[in-house]
Structures are given as structure tokens and as C-alpha cells.
Amino acid sequence: MSKTIKATADDIWKNKVEKINSELFTLTYGSVVAQLCRDFHNDYVQVNAQLERMGFNIGIRLIEDFLARTGLGRCQSFKETAEVVSKIGFKIFLNVVPLVTNWSGDGKQFSLVLEENPLAEFVELPQDDKASRALWYSNVLVGVLKGALQMVQLEVDVAFVKDVLRGDDATEIRLKLIKVLRDEVPAGED
């Protein structure tokens, strides 16, 4: 199963994705974050919230792009969703494959561990402790995951738990499945 997922992802990456140099991407994202910090006067809580909002808007559009490129159907389990997100989703947009780890006992929570983060290459957070305590630099990813998964009827709580920019040993995002949204049949129709 996982072999075909990886093969699909590599195939799509090779043939169906227009590629560019990731440095322009890193620099553009950096400029977005720096601009937000300036505009909110270093209120990092608000910056995180705005990054998540922006990510959400991206996510709801990105999911259609993703489904169109991959032609995949519904995932049968949350575990499968995790595999598809990490091996295909991240691969075809960011060209990285995070590791899926730390599954909770009930199978409803897992972590994505990013070994390399194209959003945060060469970034050094400002020296003040506030930044390294409060800012999640790549918070846009949280919004993207939330938005995209919501569009496929999964309400998921997403948050960063660790970030190398803050001095931790790895960059880790935790995803918790809250519920599966079912389409409701309007009363009177059956």
C-alpha cells in the first residue's frame, strides 16, 4: 500500500507539477511573516492567528487542486488520510515528506515530523525571547491542513508542538481528529 502511494507521489511530482526554485518561495514567505510582525507590532499571538487564517484560505482552495491532480477517492481511515497527506500532499506541493509518528492509542491523533522545512530555511528568529516563546513561524501550514481536511469532511485540530527555530530538536505538528462531518439530509427529503 505504502509503496504505491510513494510511487504515485513521485510520478505526479515528476510529471504533473510545475517546479520552481524554492528560494523565491522561502524569501516570499519570509517577507509575509516579517510584514505581519511589523504590522501587528510584534504581537506574535495575533501573527500566529493571521498566518493560520491565511493558511485556511489557501487550504480550502488547495484541496481541489490536490484532488484534481491525484484523482484519489475517499480515504477509508484516518490512518490512510495521514499517509496520503504526508506522502502525496506534502510531496507534490512542498517536495518534502514528513514522517507520520506518535499515533495515539485510539488512532485519532498523530504527529507529522518535518526534517526539512522549506518555509523556514535560513531563518533566525529575532533575539528577543518573546519571539522564540510565542511565534510559530510556519503556522500557515496549520491553517492549510485544517482548511483542506475540513473540505473532505474531517474536522481536525492542528497545532505546532515543536520547532527547530525555537531551539527544539525537530519540527513537529500534532493533528487530532475531532469528528467526521456528515452531510445532513434536509428534513423532508429522503
Partner 1 sequence: MSYYLAMIGTQDNPIYELEFGSFRQGNDGTSKFNPEMKELNPFILHAALDIIEDVQWETNTLYLKAIDNFYGHLISAYVTPGNVKFLLLHETKNEEAIRHFFTDINDLYVKVLLSPFYNANDPIISPSFDVKVKTLAKKYL
Partner 2 sequence: MSSLINPSLSHTPPSTRGYNPAVGVLSNGLLTTTDVQHAFIAATAPSIALAPGKRNSMALRKTPEISLSALIYIFNELIINYNFNQSSNIAVLEKKLNALGYPIGIKALELHSTRSASPAAPETKRFTRVLDVLQYIHTHIWTMLFSKTADNLEKSQDNADEYMIIDNEPPLTKYAKPPKEFDQLNCNAFVAGILEGLLDAAYFSCSVSAHTVPVDGFPMRTVYLIKFSRSVLEREFVRFSR
61 binds, among partner 2, partner 1, none (CB under 5 to 8 A by kind): partner 2
- Residue 57 zone, left/alpha/beta (φ > 0; ψ -120 to 50; rest): alpha
The minimum distance between CB 124 and partner 1, in angstroms, equals: 4
Region binding partner 2 by CB under 8 A among candidate stretches 3-11, 13-21, 40-48, 180-188: 13-21
- Residue 147 zone, left/alpha/beta (φ > 0; ψ -120 to 50; rest): alpha
Nearest to 71 by CA among 141, 19, 159, 8: 8
The minimum distance between CB 103 and partner 2, in angstroms, equals: 27
**Could you give the CA distance from residue 122 to residue 94 in angstroms, rounded to a whole number?**
16
149 binds, among partner 1, partner 2, none (CB under 5 to 8 A by kind): none
What does residue 58 show for φ and ψ, rounded to 5 degrees?
-65, -45
**Could you give the CA distance from residue 108 to residue 156 in angstroms, rounded to a whole number?**
9
**Residues forming beta bridges with residue 157, ordered by sequence position:** 176
Sheet holding 99-101, edge to edge: 99-101, 109-114, 171-180, 154-162
Nearer to partner 1, 38 or 176 (CB): 38
Q: Is 67 in the site for partner 2 (CB under 8 A)?
A: no
Region binding partner 2 by CB under 8 A among candidate stretches 80-88, 103-111, 124-132, 151-159: 124-132
- Residues in the interface with partner 2 (CB under 8 A) total 38
Nearer to partner 1, 10 or 121 (CB): 121
Taking CB under 8 A as the criterion, which residues in 127-186 touch partner 2?
127, 132, 140, 164-165, 167
Q: Which of 24, 68, 185, 187 binds partner 2 (CB under 8 A)?
A: 24
**Could you give the CA distance from residue 26 to residue 116 in angstroms, rounded to a whole number?**
12
- The type of residue at 184 is E
Q: Binding residues for partner 2, per CB under 8 A?
A: 13, 17-25, 27-29, 31-32, 35, 53-54, 57-58, 61-62, 65, 92-95, 118, 121-122, 124-125, 127, 132, 140, 164-165, 167
